[in-house]
Structure 1
Amino acid sequence: MSIDLSRVAELQRTAIGILFLVTVSLCIYRFAAWALNRIPATRNYMTSWNVRVAEKDFCDTAASLRKLGLADMPTGPLQGSGRKDAAFVHARYQIFMFLIGLGCADLLAAAINSVDQQRIQGSMETPALVLAGVVLPLLVWRARRSPGVARYRFLLSIMSAIEACEAVSSSQPDDRPKALRRLDDSCSTVRRSLLKAHLIAGSTGRRSPRRRQAKRHAALVVAKLQKAEAEIDVKGEGALRSLASLLVRIGNGYAIGNASNLLPEQTLRGVEPVSNREGVRMAAVILATGAALCVGVVLGFPDVAIAVMTGSAALLASIVIYGARSAVAKTSELMSVIWK
């Protein structure tokens, strides 16, 4: 097997170009946000816009709690969450998904034309593939890592799980399996986020002595949540109310900044913490995807073949490691942020 050094050099140039493009895009984004925040009229409008969106987001959750008989439960912190950035969170995801949708549609049309004409069309060349497959997803990832976005997205997932509890409670027998599956997916999203709560909150540094305690507490809360979910088929409506109540308490604790003390110690007695292998799973997906990309480049495959092979490797690795239902849950979570 001979290594195509020119392809390796091209890969290096592409990596440098990606880094430069992402850096420029993030700098422009940050400067625009900073400039708009310096204009009083714009700042006041954005403040009121965030408040309106946050109130709208919580409206369905409040209705679900009333139907579950939990209207008297304190929800002030959860209800007040997002008043500073709710609209920004939704707007960011809508813009990024619109751009990615345009890029994917253009790539699909170019792929069809490439197959039809037996040669690579413009949108299937390396720069376009990099923009659609790397740069835009990285911008979305950066938005998720933004503290305000990540925190509110986590609280939105808790609201969605509460609404799913009410959907199961009010469902007809024929619709109950579908409602239960939606509840499973919603709670799965909450559990994954809970295991990263110390990172989302940004309240502990990598070397902080509080980090280990925060991670252990999150593992205990996840185990408590799993136990509450398991009781649904045994206790029925009572278990649904208990689960919704537990979710509200977790949401309230997180909303006021108690990421390391979401539930009181007495609530977690007798609970064994769950194990967290999320980092290992993510590393395996990244390695599989990177290996497929490098193999395609080193062997001198055409750009179309490299794109297809890399995308297929990422999809297959995600399905094998996370399971198909996890992909559905992640998609549902994303849609709830965009269209809630």
Structure 2
Amino acid sequence: MNLKEEMQPATGTTTIKAVRVHQHGGPAVLTYEEIAIGQPGRGEVRIRNKAVGLNFVDIYFRNGDYTPPALPFIPGNEGAGIVVAVGEDVKDFAPGDRVAYVMTLGAYAEESLVPAHYLVHLPDTIDFETGAAMLLKGLTAQYLLRRTFKVEAGHTILIHAAAGGVGLILTQWAKHLGAIVIGTVGSPEKAEIALKNGCDYVIDYRKEDFAKRVKEITNGEGCHVVYDGIGKATFSGSLDCLRPFGYFVSYGSASGAIEKFDIMTLMQKGSVFATWQLLFDHLRKREDVLAMSKELFEVVTSGAVKIPVHNRLPLSEAAEAHRRLEARETTGATVLVLWH
């Protein structure tokens, strides 16, 4: 299908292919099937997806850790493609526009209905696969580095899973800001990737006590901030990596949820701060969606941050993509691609 055909507004109800979850469970519950999609409602845009991003949050929705609006549902929280139709009151988008979107369940499909609030124009210099891989992870990095704890030149920071999708963006962006970056990884191969993407020091947590090594690297001072997407397995050690009044910033629980703890622990660890913020809360205002996306696109188009798409699978193989992500077999970003 050429661009001219793609720009023609869709009419009525169309049958498309999509991945749906009918019951919570492992990767096998992801079923590739035909569904009907209608026209966009007020404030919505219908997108013909070209690529869809894969994220740990998709696993949380699939296995029931996060509750979807209803069952069955279509997973996926970011994608990129071409506008095919717009609903009432949508003024900033038109059929044919290249776009990317975030924070909208339903991306694992040939076409998606997306609230215009979470939609942004995709710069011509960014291809669809990169666009699909960068918005959720990139905006997560943006709020972590620029809003939750504002990283500045000279700060020493620790990034867990530094070779992961969010980790590689965090590492490059933090280095661009002038920070001293320490990263943790789980293999020599991932250590090499982390070093190539800006880590000053890399710790293989399977071979070393990362908290002890951080203290050695920082001459006992500790880090200004720890960014932790791992959760249960790293929480206690992460607190030990902080200097007094440092920030523990959680944004995921790949190893399981952090267990309940006595808030006095934060005082005992050096009067440190601990926070977990949602990207959704940072994107409640349309002006923030635009401002945060603008800053992300600027660091990517300038070359300061590169979005590594290391894995590509067809949408029909979403279950295999989930299996690989859960098994920690991936580095960088994975995208599910569609050909029209």
* Structure (1 or 2) with the larger CA radius of gyration: 1
Q: Which structure's relative contact order is higher, taking Cα pairs within 8 Å and 6+ residues apart?
A: 1
Q: Point out the structure with the larger strand share.
A: 2
TM-score by length of 1: 0.26
Q: Point out the structure with the larger helix share.
A: 1
TM-score by length of 2: 0.26
